[in-house]
């Protein structure tokens, strides 16, 4: 899973760098008027969203996905009493609301 997420993260980074280079080479990245025949226009919002998605993918690649089920089971065992009390509270609130 880490390899796949790393690949997509690098792919997103490469595409953003290519877009910045293409727009930077035309010299119209900061022009106030969009001219259709002049070349591509750099959409800064898309660049920021792409960087954010790349960072999220990089963070997800750091998670050890095979350990998650065992950690969830351990946390359920540790907090079993508290979860049981929360369940009773939810049941009592449901009875009060529906009757």
20-53 pLDDT, tens per residue? 777 666 655 555 555 555 555 666 677 677 777 7
CA–CA gap between residue 92 and residue 75 (Å, rounded) = 24
- pLDDT given at position 77: 94
Burial of 92 (0-12, 13-18, 19+ CB in 10 A): exposed
- pTM for the full model? 0.42
SS3 48: helix
pLDDT over 60 at 54, yes or no: yes
């Amino acid at each position: 899973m880490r390899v796949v997420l790393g690949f997509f993260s690098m792919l997103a980074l490469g595409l953003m760098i290519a877009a910045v280079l293409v727009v930077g080479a035309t010299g119209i990245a900061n022009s106030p008027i969009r001219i259709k025949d002049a070349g591509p226009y750099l959409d800064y919002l898309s660049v920021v969203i792409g960087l954010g998605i790349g960072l999220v993918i990089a963070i997800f690649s750091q998670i050890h996905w095979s350990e998650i089920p065992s950690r969830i089971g351990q946390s359920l065992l540790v907090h079993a009493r508290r979860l049981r009390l929360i369940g009773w509270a939810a049941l009592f609130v449901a009875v009060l609301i529906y009757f």
